[in-house]
Copies of this chain bind each other. A is one copy, B any other.
Amino acid sequence: MATLKDIAMATGLSMNTVSRAIRGSGYVSSRTAELVRKTVKELDYHPNRAAQDLRRRRSRQITVVAESYDYLHIEKLAAIKEYAAKCGYTMGVHFTSEDYPQSTFSALLPDILEQNPAGLILIASSPFIIGKARELRKKLPCVMITFNGVPDIDCVYIDRTGGVYDAVHYLYKKGRRRIAFCETFRSKNRLLGYQRAVRELGLPELILSGTMKSLPEIRREGARIAKELAAWENPPDAVQTSDYMASGLLAGFAEAGIRVPEDVSVLGFDDRELAGMLNPPLTTLAQPSAKVGRISARMLFERISGERKETEPENIPVPMRLVIRDSA
Interface of A toward B, CB cutoff 8 Å = 1, 46-51, 53-54, 59, 61, 69, 71, 73-75, 77-78, 81-82, 85, 90-95, 110-111, 113-116, 215-216, 219, 244, 247-248, 250-251, 254, 272-274, 276-281
Return the contact of A111 from the options B85, B116, B280 (Cβ within 8 A): B85
Known contacts A93-B93, A273-B273, A279-B254, A114 near B46 by CB under 8 Å: yes
Residues of B within 8 A of A50 (CB): 49-51, 53-54, 59, 116
Least CB separation from A248: chain B residue: B277
Residues of B within 8 A of A116 (CB): 1, 46, 48-50
Residue contact B71 to A273, C-beta cutoff 8 Å: yes
Residue contact B92 to A49, C-beta cutoff 8 Å: no
In order of increasing CB-CB distance, the 6 nearest A-B pairs are A274-B274, A247-B277, A251-B279, A50-B53, A71-B71, A50-B54
Residues of B within 8 A of A90 (CB): 92, 111, 115
Whole-angstrom distance from the CB of A188 to the nearest CB of chain B? 23
Residues of B within 8 A of A251 (CB): 279-280
Residues of B within 8 A of A248 (CB): 277
Known contacts A91-B92, A116-B50, A219 near B277 by CB under 8 Å: yes
Residue contact A277 to B46, C-beta cutoff 8 Å: no
Whole-angstrom distance from the CB of A283 to the nearest CB of chain B? 14
Whole-angstrom distance from the CB of A176 to the nearest CB of chain B? 23
Residues of B within 8 A of A59 (CB): 49-50
The CA-CA distance from A71 to B77 in the complex, in Å, is: 11
Least CB separation from A48: chain B residue: B116
Known: A49-B115, A50-B59, A277-B278. 10 other contacts (CB 8 A): A49-B59, A49-B116, A50-B50, A69-B75, A73-B74, A82-B95, A215-B277, A274-B277, A274-B278, A278-B278
Known contacts A73-B74, A74-B69, A92-B91, A110 near B46 by CB under 8 Å: yes
Least CB separation from A71: chain B residue: B71
The CA-CA distance from A110 to B216 in the complex, in Å, is: 45
Whole-angstrom distance from the CB of A224 to the nearest CB of chain B? 14
Residues of B within 8 A of A95 (CB): 77-78, 81-82
Residues of B within 8 A of A93 (CB): 77, 81, 91-93
**Listed residue (A75, A250, A279) with the most chain B CB atoms within 10 angstroms of its CB:** A279
The CA-CA distance from A137 to B113 in the complex, in Å, is: 31
Return the contact of A54 from the options B54, B215, B278 (Cβ within 8 A): B54
Residues of B within 8 A of A85 (CB): 111
Least CB separation from A1: chain B residue: B116
The CA-CA distance from A90 to B280 in the complex, in Å, is: 43
Whole-angstrom distance from the CB of A190 to the nearest CB of chain B? 19
Residue contact B114 to A276, C-beta cutoff 8 Å: no
Residues of B within 8 A of A81 (CB): 93-95
Whole-angstrom distance from the CB of A33 to the nearest CB of chain B? 18
